[in-house]
Structure 1
């Protein structure tokens, strides 16, 4: 029997209503597709108990917490101390997602910037990686991340990377990772594929961002962690690798960026 490549879905949202009542089956389908680990991302403080419970109930499932930039105007401000305290939970592996979204939420730009800086400080204090959402805000994103790095180092993944080549270069120069989502499989995404193919292999992760952004051939339908294999197949092609080689490389990258998840995996 041929072993499937062992993949990690580094960013999904298992608590979202799209998956209500299906989480166990969803995780089982992911494992059947070779997705042995996943990180479910919490974007609102009110969702944290549910997200944490999902992670604690399933081996190989980890979680992060941050206030999403599209939610900051509606959420009570989170503090560095709150984030640091929440990060003590064993399966809590990262800070975010946080960032800037000027496509949908430009009216809250100042609040977003303040929130991003708070999350950066929490990543610096905890040593946990930052999970960044960036949309139509490349210049300010580069500026704020660069300012943070000058104050104190931190690790970071540019989740669902779909920004321009300049932000990609800046992120890589700061030692960050770029995460490849289903967008990279879309026919009109050649510019994005070019950015990924020019990125060092040891700086790439893969994700679904499910329930959003299903890769080809599921585009337009609900996404789920099992589908990360289709994005990884495209990634392997960009680097001239077998699917197993690409899966091994991105899994090793995940372990470097998320050491708490790596340690838990080794201990299991």
Structure 2
């Protein structure tokens, strides 16, 4: 079995060698290491890891919570990283109206638009982070008001990211079935993480069943969002096996079939052999 974890934060681990060994032992043979670091100054760390392992690829990007640091110098660094063939995507980028400590909406949107331009110039797919304030604490709701991150995101993509372009991934997709369909229409893949296995994720499971087989991926978002039965513990790429098995069961296929389909989707999206 060849599983692909399409989104993991490998530079967060102190015991990376052990984490990678467990991943390979579990049948996870391809990883996409997300290059947001602790901010733009360290977004190169994922690429440093990928350069040392032929089965690991990297992205680079400025997370929306770091949007205030999307300076001309940081954007120039991102453009330079995007030139490396091991850097196959720009991200994770997007909008996050969930935490009150995040930058204001205009700052987040400006950083997002700037990075869309870099991705378009590099012809690299994008990895989208989208989190609304709907379930946030009162202080976040007060800050962002009635703004809807999904509506803003899809509007910005319609204006700045052509459907016929290099495409991308709705990372850790957590939206509604309608948002899933609109994302698919905008030429995005849907990547499902451990929260798919959580009891309250009814809408998410509906979207996961309805998505066409050639547009689905699985991920861990490790070290976050461990799937059941490891919920609440530190996540790692080896545990993508649980999400893959859960998604396979939802769709009425074997885990081996799900692994083959999602790996082929990943390779096709990023034009990998």
Is residue 29 of structure 2 the alignment partner of residue 36 of structure 1? yes
CA distance in 1, matches of 2:24, 2:194: 19
Quick check: 1:181–1:208 contact (8 Å CA) kept in 2?
Answer: yes
Segments of 4+ moved more than 6 angstroms: none
Of 59, 64, 79, 1:69 maps to: 64
Match of 1:145 in 2: 157
Name the CA shift for 1:46/1:156 in 2 (closer, same or farther; >3 Å): same
CA distance in 1, matches of 2:53, 2:163: 37
Q: CA deviation at 1:91?
A: 1.0
Unpaired segments ≥5 residues, structure 2 = 133-148
Number of equivalenced pairs: 254
Quick check: 2:43–2:61 contact (8 Å CA) kept in 1?
Answer: no
Match of 1:111 in 2: 107
Match of 2:3 in 1: 7
Quick check: 1:100–1:113 contact (8 Å CA) kept in 2?
Answer: yes
Name the CA shift for 1:228/1:78 in 2 (closer, same or farther; >3 Å): farther
When the two structures are superposed, what TM-score results if normalisation uses the length of structure 2? 0.88
Of 236, 250, 257, 1:238 maps to: 250
Q: Which is worse superposed, 148-157 or 100-109?
A: 148-157
Quick check: 1:127–1:155 contact (8 Å CA) kept in 2?
Answer: no
CA distance in 1, matches of 2:74, 2:172: 25
Is residue 72 of structure 2 the alignment partner of residue 84 of structure 1? no
Quick check: 1:95–1:131 contact (8 Å CA) kept in 2?
Answer: yes
Q: CA deviation at 1:255?
A: 0.5
CA distance in 1, matches of 2:89, 2:169: 10
CA distance in 2, matches of 1:216, 1:246: 18
Match of 1:213 in 2: 225
Q: CA deviation at 1:107?
A: 4.4
Q: CA deviation at 1:188?
A: 1.3
Name the CA shift for 1:53/1:192 in 2 (closer, same or farther; >3 Å): same
Is residue 142 of structure 2 the alignment partner of residue 130 of structure 1? no
CA distance in 1, matches of 2:30, 2:73: 28
Quick check: 2:50–2:56 contact (8 Å CA) kept in 1?
Answer: yes
Of 13, 16, 24, 2:17 maps to: 24
Match of 2:182 in 1: 170
Match of 1:188 in 2: 200
CA distance in 2, matches of 1:170, 1:138: 10
Is residue 266 of structure 2 the alignment partner of residue 254 of structure 1? yes
Match of 1:199 in 2: 211
Quick check: 2:82–2:122 contact (8 Å CA) kept in 1?
Answer: yes
Quick check: 2:94–2:153 contact (8 Å CA) kept in 1?
Answer: yes
Name the CA shift for 1:220/1:78 in 2 (closer, same or farther; >3 Å): farther
CA distance in 1, matches of 2:107, 2:210: 34
